[in-house]
Structures are given as structure tokens and as C-alpha cells.
């Protein structure tokens, strides 16, 4: 491959003329992308040519497009940055679908750039043509078919924002080959005007926050049920979760996606709930009188039979995705917002007087929880993991399988 990209001119200033392929590379750099995962093919060769002239982007060559999607997922999970995938049209694009669906289910920010046949051949059953947008529409947060070079810079910047804000998820950008080689004006992210205005609600409704505080302050058997929304919100959300749990005096459970947000060494930690969860966590979830769910979605692996799930509890659900609230389990208080922001508001609204009386009120609840803990003397996964933690160095990464 040969590159038509001149790093001395094309990659220096904003608002200049370049090819569509160069725009893709330039937009990734402008958005702070450092790594992308891909597998070359005829419909994306212009983009691969442009990559040769950009030393700030590192391309990881995989052996299969599905591997590119999963590798980008892993990168996003471990780095906190969006994963970027670059694959060709037809079979290349279709091979990423499993990873795209996984990213949607686990709220992983993914930007999947796919090649497409030239625009005049779309719909003619051309060589390696597939309806990428139609195939991925149901498993993406948003998807684009870029037919005009003028739209490409805006789409690249808009896709990055959609993938990484609100509830993170995968976005597909399908770019025909003739758009990649066409020339047009590149516009940087600061000057790009989004066509689709996407402004997720991050602040919770004050009245709902006040009602949540009232329920929790009056509870005798409260519990926190936390999920991946805490992780996605960032380290500040984890710190605020620990602070609020200490104020309320409630035990904390976490889904698989939420592990790590709350320290397993904390006495308030009960472990995972659900099918693969801890004995004491499941009993506490069932017998609680007020449940605060933050960034979790009441998955069937946690709830089991819906009619038997925590039947005597009042439920508070905090999620940045409005469609998740009340989707499977009816809730008494729904709060749309970012986990960190809502936790900040809950902490600010929590009454500081009468804390000693509240702790006394919770004493029987903690006695019951400790009795459940004492009743699990057989080998448990948390204890096994604790033994492993003692044997490995700090900062080691663990990759669980299903």
C-alpha cells in the first residue's frame, strides 16, 4: 500500500481539504484515539493507506473481524476509552456483530468503522455487499451510512460523542469506498455542528432524590444493588458509593459488571447476587425492605422469577438510560441520571442528625446478615479469589470466562 497522506500539511491544521479516508484518520486523532483493531479488505484500503501516514495511531492486526470487536471491547473495559474497530464490507462487517451485541448488552463504548461498496452499487448485490446498517440497527446505539463526503467529519465526531456519553454503547459508521477517495473539507470537532442533538440527562430530579432519601432513612433492612453503571460513571462514582453506603449503613451487592466499584474487603460487602451469587447476598436481596439499585438493570440472572424477587421491598432505581427504569421490575422511585451525579445529590440530601438512632435500628438487620454469613462454611468463590489475590502481585489483570 502507498499513502497519499502528507503529515507535514494534511495533518497539521483544521478546516482543510483532504480525502474521506484521511478525514477518518484525522477525526480519530482529534478525538484522542490511540489504538484501533482491524483486518484489511478491499472496501477499506483507502483508510489503511491513510493510516500509514499517521504515527499517532497504533493499528492492531487481528486474525478475524470478530476478534477485532472483542479486542476493542477489552481495550475499552480496561482503559476507559472507546474501542475502535476497522473492517471491510460484507463478511468483514457481519463478522463484528457478536462483539457489537456484546458491547450493547454490557454498555461498552465501541466505534465500528466498516467499508461499503461504492454508493452507485448499493442495493445491486455487488461483490461483498451487505446491508450493514440494516443488520446492525437492532444492536447499536446508533448507526450511519455516509453517502456524502460533506457529512463524514460531522458523523465521525458525532459517533464518538454518542458512543461515550449517556449509557455507553456501540456505534457503526458504514463508509462507501467512493466516499473514502472523494475529497472534501475537514471540520474539526470544535467546529462541527451535530445534526443529531444527543444530550443525556445526568442530574437526577430533586423531588425523586428527596423521596429516595426518605425511604432509605426510614428503612430497617436497606440494601444497595449496584451494577456496571457505577464503573461507567468513573472513579468518582465509586468513591461516592462508598461514602453513601457508610452514611446509610446498608450492605452492598454488585453484579458481575459492577465488580470493583465497591471494595470486597469492606465489611458492608456481600458479594454478587443472583444465580451465581453469594448465599448472604441473595437472602439480603430477598428480605430487604428498601432496595437502592444504581446502574444495574434487574437482569434475569439476578431476579430469577420476577413474582418472587424481593417481594416486600420498596425499590429505587437510578440509571442514566430512561428505558431501563421499570423495564423488568416495577419500581417505586425512578431517578434518571449519571450514577456519580445522583450519588452526590443523595449524599448532600442525607440527614446528618439522628445517625446513632438509625444505626441502632439497623442492628437486627446486620445480625441477620452475619448469621447468613456464618452459615456458609463450604468453599466459596469469594474465598477462593481472596486466596488467589494473596498470591499475585498488585495490579494484575484477571479475565473471567463464562
Same domain, 312 and 238: yes
**Is residue 192 a part of any domain in this protein?**
no
- Per-residue confidence (pLDDT) for residue 5, from 0 to 100: 34
Same domain, 153 and 210: no
**Is residue 268 a part of any domain in this protein?**
yes
Is residue 69 over pLDDT 80? Answer: yes
**Is residue 65 a part of any domain in this protein?**
yes
**Is residue 253 a part of any domain in this protein?**
yes
Residues composing the chain:
402
> Are 225 and 273 contacting, i.e. CB atoms less than 8 angstroms apart?
yes
Q: Residue 8: pLDDT band by 50, 70, 90 thresholds?
A: very low
Same domain, 174 and 256: no
Q: Residue 7: pLDDT band by 50, 70, 90 thresholds?
A: very low
Is residue 2 over pLDDT 60? Answer: no
Q: Residue 16: pLDDT band by 50, 70, 90 thresholds?
A: confident
**Is residue 338 a part of any domain in this protein?**
yes
Same domain, 237 and 102: no
Residue from 63, 39, 60 nearest 115 by CA: 39
**Is residue 235 a part of any domain in this protein?**
yes
Same domain, 140 and 284: no
Mean pLDDT calculated for residue range 91-114: 98
- Per-residue confidence (pLDDT) for residue 194, from 0 to 100: 64
- Per-residue confidence (pLDDT) for residue 6, from 0 to 100: 34
- Per-residue confidence (pLDDT) for residue 200, from 0 to 100: 84
For residue range 123-176, what is the model confidence (pLDDT) as tens digits?
999 999 999 999 999 999 999 999 999 999 999 999 999 999 999 999 999 999
Same domain, 166 and 214: no
Percent of the chain whose predicted confidence (pLDDT) is above 70 = 92
Q: Residue 88: pLDDT band by 50, 70, 90 thresholds?
A: very high
Same domain, 295 and 354: yes
For residue range 244-262, what is the model confidence (pLDDT) as tens digits?
999 999 999 999 999 999 9
Same domain, 216 and 363: yes
Same domain, 110 and 230: no
Same domain, 246 and 366: yes
Q: Residue 77: pLDDT band by 50, 70, 90 thresholds?
A: very high
**Is residue 110 a part of any domain in this protein?**
yes
Q: Residue 24: pLDDT band by 50, 70, 90 thresholds?
A: very high
Is residue 354 over pLDDT 70? Answer: yes
Domain span at residue 160 reads: 17-185
Q: Which of 127, 156, 185 is the last residue of a domain?
A: 185
Same domain, 284 and 360: yes
Is residue 11 over pLDDT 90? Answer: no
For residue range 269-305, what is the model confidence (pLDDT) as tens digits?
999 999 989 999 999 999 999 999 999 999 999 999 9
**CATH at residue 57:** 3.40.50.970
Domains held by the chain: number:
2
Same domain, 248 and 372: yes
**Is residue 376 a part of any domain in this protein?**
yes
- Per-residue confidence (pLDDT) for residue 1, from 0 to 100: 33
**CATH at residue 305:** 3.40.50.1220
Q: Residue 196: pLDDT band by 50, 70, 90 thresholds?
A: low
Amino acid at each position: 500500500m502507498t499513502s497519499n497522506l502528507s503529515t507535514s500539511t494534511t495533518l497539521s491544521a483544521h478546516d482543510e481539504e483532504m480525502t474521506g479516508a484521511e478525514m477518518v484518520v484525522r477525526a480519530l486523532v482529534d478525538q484522542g484515539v490511540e489504538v484501533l483493531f482491524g483486518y484489511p479488505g478491499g472496501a477499506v484500503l483507502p483508510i489503511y493507506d491513510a493510516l500509514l501516514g499517521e504515527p499517532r495511531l497504533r493499528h492492531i492486526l487481528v486474525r478475524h473481524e470478530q476478534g477485532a470487536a472483542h479486542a476493542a471491547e477489552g481495550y475499552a473495559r480496561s482503559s476507559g476509552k472507546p474501542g475502535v474497530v476497522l473492517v471491510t464490507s460484507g463478511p468483514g462487517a457481519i463478522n463484528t456483530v457478536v462483539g457489537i451485541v456484546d458491547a450493547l448488552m454490557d454498555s461498552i463504548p465501541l466505534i465500528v468503522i466498516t467499508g461499503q461498496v461504492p454508493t452507485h452499487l448499493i442495493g445491486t448485490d455487488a461483490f461483498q455487499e451487505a446491508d450493514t446498517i440494516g443488520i446492525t440497527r437492532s444492536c447499536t446505539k446508533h448507526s450511519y451510512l455516509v453517502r456524502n463526503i460533506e457529512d463524514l467529519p460531522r458523523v465521525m465526531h458525532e459517533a464518538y460523542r454518542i458512543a461515550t456519553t449517556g449509557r455507553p454503547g456501540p456505534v457503526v459508521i458504514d463508509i462507501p469506498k467512493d466516499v473514502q477517495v472523494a475529497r472534501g473539507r475537514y471540520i474539526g470537532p470544535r467546529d462541527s455542528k451535530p445534526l443529531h442533538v444527543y444530550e443525556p440527562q445526568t442530574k437526577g430530579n430533586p423531588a425523586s432524590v428527596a423521596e429516595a432519601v426518605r425511604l432509605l432513612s426510614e428503612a430497617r433492612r436497606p440494601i444497595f444493588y449496584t451494577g456496571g453503571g457505577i464503573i461507567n460513571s468513573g472513579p468518582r462514582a465509586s468513591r461516592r458509593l462508598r461514602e453513601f453506603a457508610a452514611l446509610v449503613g446498608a450492605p452492598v451487592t454488585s453484579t458481575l459488571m459492577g465488580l470493583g466499584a465497591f471494595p470486597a474487603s469492606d465489611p458492608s460487602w456481600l458479594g454478587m447476587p443472583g444465580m451465581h451469587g453469594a448465599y448472604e447476598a441473595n437472602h439480603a436481596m430477598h428480605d430487604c425492605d428498601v432496595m437502592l439499585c444504581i446502574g444495574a438493570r434487574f437482569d434475569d440472572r439476578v431476579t430469577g422469577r420476577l413474582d418472587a424477587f424481593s417481594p416486600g421491598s420498596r425499590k429505587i432505581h437510578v440509571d442514566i438510560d430512561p428505558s431501563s427504569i421499570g423495564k423488568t421490575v416495577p419500581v417505586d422511585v425512578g431517578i434518571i441520571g449519571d450514577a456519580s451525579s445522583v450519588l452526590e445529590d443523595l449524599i448532600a440530601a442525607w440527614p446528618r442528625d439522628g445517625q446513632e438512632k438509625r444505626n441502632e435500628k439497623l442492628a437486627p438487620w446486620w445480625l441477620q446478615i452475619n448469621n447468613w454469613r456464618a452459615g456458609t462454611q463450604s468453599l466459596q468463590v469469594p474465598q477462593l479469589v481472596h486466596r488467589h489475590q494473596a498470591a499475585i502481585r498488585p495490579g494484575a489483570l484477571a479475565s473471567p470466562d463464562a
